[in-house]
A and B are shown apart, each in its own frame.
Chain A
Amino acid sequence: QSALTQPPSVSGSPGQSVTISCIGSSSDVGNYNRVSWYQQPPGTAPKLMIYDVSYRPSGVPDRFSGSKSGNTASLTISGLQAEDEADYYCSSYTSSSTMMFGGGTKLTVL
């Protein structure tokens, strides 16, 4: 199974909004609302930020939002802050009953 496709990097200035895309197929992202997003600062374990496409776990700021259209899921971070700088990964359930991650996107806050 191939990884979900994410842009290698995105950047934005404090206060701006950025969107990270996650492109899958009809066998994963497009057919299931089981898309999640993870934040991983350097040297730390991933942290769940969004689940089931658009739901935020308790404690995650509402600056983080998720959506999906067709085979593409998106994570939007509004009101960018320096502490948001990290790697971000999407994940999806697949029709083979497996899980899959995206290649990861490095977010730089300018």
Chain B
Amino acid sequence: QVQLQESGPGLVKPSGTLSLTCAVSGDSIRSSHWWGWIRQPPGKGLEWVGYIHYSGSTYYNPSLMSRVTMSIDTSKNQFSLRVTSVSALDTAVYYCARNYGGNSYFDFWGQGTLVTVSS
């Protein structure tokens, strides 16, 4: 069974950088699948942030593209998210998930981690 687990600071200061890591077990991050991030502001809907392939290819949400970077660490079987210049609008539960084969569906999800942007 594929499992994903998010980790990172739960509180980030405005204008700072949000950094999260997703540890993957039960599948190799070097597989044909893509690895993505989805966020959900409190009481609101899901927003696709982006996804990455182990080759290094990435696709980001156009509304976040200027502030988002994703990376992969194949030695640790994990991938990461960085969002710069954060504001209160970036406060959300951040989920990592596996995208089956790319341009497809998210079949396995992490439990999510709440990141609050506040001074």
Contacts and interface: CB of A to CB of B under 8 A. Distances in A.
B113 to A, nearest CB: 11
A101 B97 CA distance: 14
Nearest to A6: B45
With a 10 A CB-CB cut-off, give which of B50, B106, B111 has the most chain A CB atoms.
B106
A98 B45 contact: no
A103 B45 CA distance: 5
Given A45-B112, A46-B95, A98-B48, A93 B104 contact: yes
Q: How large is the interface on B (under 10, 10 to 19, 20 to 34, 35 or more residues)?
A: 20 to 34
A98 B107 CA distance: 17
Contacts of B105: 34, 36, 48, 51-52, 91
With a 10 A CB-CB cut-off, give which of B48, B60, B107 has the most chain A CB atoms.
B48
Given A36-B106, A51-B105, A97-B103, A46 B46 contact: yes
